[in-house]
Structure formats: C-alpha cells, structure tokens
C-alpha cells in the first residue's frame, strides 16, 4: 500500500488524480490525503491553497501505516511531520517549485531545509540547481534541450528517447511510479529504471497531458482476445451445426474500435474438418473479416453491440429465433443497389443500416437466403461472445446436431 499526500489538480494531469492513476496502473492499493487545493487547467495555474497540517494529520492517523509515502505539492514542513509519524516508511518527495506556466509554489531555500527527511527527492535539473543537489536526489533532465532525457541518481545515469511534445504532469507520474515500484520491493535503481520505461510508454500514448488511463486500453486488448480464446471451445462444440461452407468467425471489438484491426477475431476462420469444427489460429487483431466490418458498422449506431458471428443458414434456425423473441431482420439481396453490390464490403454495411432503420433497434439476427455467388447466411449480434453464443443456442434446437454426429448441446 502507498499513502499519497499531494495536491489536487482539477484537470487531472498532475497531483492526486495522476498519482492514483499511476499507482492503480501498477495494481497498487492507494490511500490519499489532499495537501493543497489548486485552481488550474492543463495550461495554467491560477492559485493554490495549502491545507492545515492538523487537519491532514487527523485523516492520516486513522489509516493503515504505509510502507511507502508519495509526497507531492505540500508545505515543506509536512515532510518532516510525516517522517516523525512514520519513522520506518520510505518517503518519495516530488518537489514542485513552480508550474510549467511560471506559477511559483515554493521557495527553494525553504525546501532545502526539509529534503533530508525524505528517502528520495524527485525534481528536475532546474529545480535541483536552485535547491542545491544532494545525495538523495533523483534528477530528471526533461527541461534540458536534447533528443534524449537523462535521469540521474548518484552514479546511476539512465537515458531514454525524448517523446515529442509538452506534457503536463510528468513529475507526478514519474515520482509516483518510483514509489509504486519501491512498494513492490524493487531496489531504488531498478525502481527508477522501471519508472522511466513506464513513463516513456505512457507519453507515447499521450497528448498534452500525461494520459496514464490509456494504458488500460492494453488491458482491454488482452481482455478481448482472452474472452475469445476462452469461449472458443463452446463454439467448436456446436460448430458442426453452425459453421457455414465459407467458415465462421467470432468478431469482438474493442470499446473504441473504428477499424477491423481493432476487432478481435480468428484469422483463417473456424472450419469444418471431417465433421468437426476446428480453429485455424488463436484470436488476434490481425487479418480482415466480414464479421469485423459488420461489428464496426453496428457500433456506429449502437456502440455497446460489439460482437458478431456468422452462422450456417437454416430456415428452422430463423423460425426458432423469432419464436424465442429475438429481433430478426430478413435481408433481400435482390433489392441491394447495384453500386453497393459492386463495392467490396459495402453489402454488409448497407445490410445492417437497413436492418437498424426498419427495426428501430439493434437486430439480434440478420439473415439472407443467398444470391449469385453468395452463400445464404445468418448473422447474430450481441454485446459480447457469451451473449451471442446464447442467442445461437436458442436457434439451434437442443439435442440437434449436424449430420456426422457429435455431442448433444
């Protein structure tokens, strides 16, 4: 657990909100006490008001004693007070003398009196020069004009490529990451290395401010592919009854997907081999897919409908879907405009647009009975693969299986 004692930045780029985002991204539990209230946005600080220590102390005393304390924008004497309260805790103090817009928070001479109470003091090269460099300083060179940024701690020097742009909140993010890795029992040198690498990855995804939250998009990617791989055996089990001649795909999109390469799927599709369904590969964002394009189209109108599966056409499947109360749309390919038919991939887009327009709701099932060179097909839509699978099971009568045998559903 890490106790964060820092200021509140309403814009979320720095301060307590940024500290919590970084530590949460590392999977670390956080306790927090606000030390200062600021009026600011991403570009400018207008004012600051520091909280009274006695008020803060009452909040801190009822919390679990922390192993690591991350200190941000505070009155310098607060660091001494924290040390007196927690003699065995590791204190990481991110000194903030002034904002990037020029607002002065603290006096260097006053800060200098209290740096010895922290185990590690994180500040940039300009601040270190003003305060007077000391042995426990971790100094960042973000303000230096170079294509590489240097981070120094005693004899350790770490260089990392500079990410183009100006970013609000780098100091908070970097020092919080160090505190987080220290809480995970990293030696300080390794905590600095890991924090440097983590911040680089965050800045590569950021624009204007340190957007730590975008790291969670990597978790979403894992979750989409993991969900598909976990449910695949169930689709393979019913595959003899559902896989069409052209093969089957399960497309599951990321929440922000705008292209088919942001949709998880099974490259090569699910195929029938000797009466059994087999997957050519595990789930991936690579390769192209009709069901992925259909999912993207559906999400333009209903962004929560993130999954599409194509199913072998059988008239009785469609009839059961209707009887079970699913929203079913019949797509007549003969009415498809010539210009749509001639453009690759546009038939599926037009089909979904027509279904949504006529049903005034997202369809569960869209089917067509084929056309010249086009296999008759059923498409099933849902929020996720599990929901789509349940809809498909409603369509395929219990106990029924494709010719060639297999287990009952």
Q: What is the pLDDT, as a whole number, of residue 142?
A: 61
At residue 195, the 3 state secondary structure works out as helix
With 0-12 / 13-18 / 19 or more C-beta atoms within 10 angstroms meaning exposed / middle / buried, residue 35 is buried
pLDDT band with cut points at 50, 70 and 90 for residue 344: low
pLDDT band with cut points at 50, 70 and 90 for residue 391: very high
Query: What domains does the chain contain, in order, with CATH numbers?
Result: 2-210 (3.40.1190.20), 217-395 (3.40.225.10)
Contact criterion met (CB below 8 Å) for 326 and 365? yes
Q: What's the whole-number mean pLDDT along residues 402-409?
A: 36
Q: What's the whole-number mean pLDDT along residues 246-257?
A: 96
Radius of gyration of the chain (CA): 29
pLDDT band with cut points at 50, 70 and 90 for residue 208: confident
Q: What's the whole-number mean pLDDT along residues 146-152?
A: 87
Contact criterion met (CB below 8 Å) for 132 and 93? no
Q: What is the pLDDT, as a whole number, of residue 8?
A: 95
pLDDT band with cut points at 50, 70 and 90 for residue 268: very high
Q: What's the whole-number mean pLDDT along residues 111-133?
A: 95
Q: What is the pLDDT, as a whole number, of residue 100?
A: 75
Q: What's the whole-number mean pLDDT along residues 354-383?
A: 89
**Distance in angstroms (rounded) separating the CA atoms of residues 289 and 248:** 10
């Amino acid at each position: 657990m890490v106790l964060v004692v820092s200021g509140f930045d309403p814009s979320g780029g720095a301060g307590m909100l940024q500290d919590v985002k970084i530590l949460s991204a590392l999977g670390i539990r956080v306790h927090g006490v606000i030390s200062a209230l600021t009026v600011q946005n991403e570009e400018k600080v207008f004012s600051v008001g520091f909280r009274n220590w006695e008020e803060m102390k009452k909040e801190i005393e009822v919390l679990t004693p922390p192993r690591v304390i991350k200190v941000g924008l505070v009155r310098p004497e607060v660091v001494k007070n924290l040390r007196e309260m927690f003699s065995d805790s590791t204190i990481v103090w991110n000194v903030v003398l002034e904002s990037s817009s020029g607002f002065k928070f603290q006096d260097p001479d006053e800060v200098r009196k209290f740096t010895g109470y922290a185990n590690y003091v994180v500040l940039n090269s300009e601040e270190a020069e003003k305060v007077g460099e000391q042995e426990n300083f971790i100094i960042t060179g973000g303000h230096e004009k170079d294509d590489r940024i240097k981070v120094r701690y005693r004899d350790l020097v770490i260089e990392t490529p500079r990410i183009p742009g100006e970013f609000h909140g780098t100091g908070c993010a970097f020092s919080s990451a160090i505190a987080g890795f220290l809480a995970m029992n990293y030696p300080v040198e390794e905590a600095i290395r890991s924090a440097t690498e983590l911040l680089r990855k965050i800045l590569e995804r950021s624009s204007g401010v340190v957007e730590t939250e975008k790291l969670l998009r990597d978790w979403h990617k894992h979750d989409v592919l993991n969900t598909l791989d976990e449910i695949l055996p169930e689709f393979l089990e019913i595959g003899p009854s559902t896989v069409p001649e052209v093969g089957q795909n399960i497309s599951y999109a990321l929440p922000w997907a705008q292209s088919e390469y942001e949709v998880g799927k099974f490259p090569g599709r699910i195929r029938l081999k000797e009466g059994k369904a087999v997957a050519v590969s595990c789930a991936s964002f690579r390769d192209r897919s009709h069901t992925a394009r259909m999912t993207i189209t559906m999400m333009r109108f209903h962004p929560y409908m993130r999954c599409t599966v194509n199913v072998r056409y059988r008239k009785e499947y469609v009839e059961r879907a209707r009887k079970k109360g699913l929203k079913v749309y019949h797509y007549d390919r003969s009415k498809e405009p010539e210009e749509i038919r001639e453009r690759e991939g546009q038939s599926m887009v037009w089909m979904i647009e027509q279904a949504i327009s006529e049903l005034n709701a997202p369809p569960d099932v869209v089917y067509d009975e084929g056309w010249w060179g086009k296999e008759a097909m059923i498409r099933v839509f849902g929020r996720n693969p599990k929901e789509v699978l349940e809809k498909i099971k409603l369509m395929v009568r219990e106990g029924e299986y494709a010719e060639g045998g297999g287990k009952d559903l």
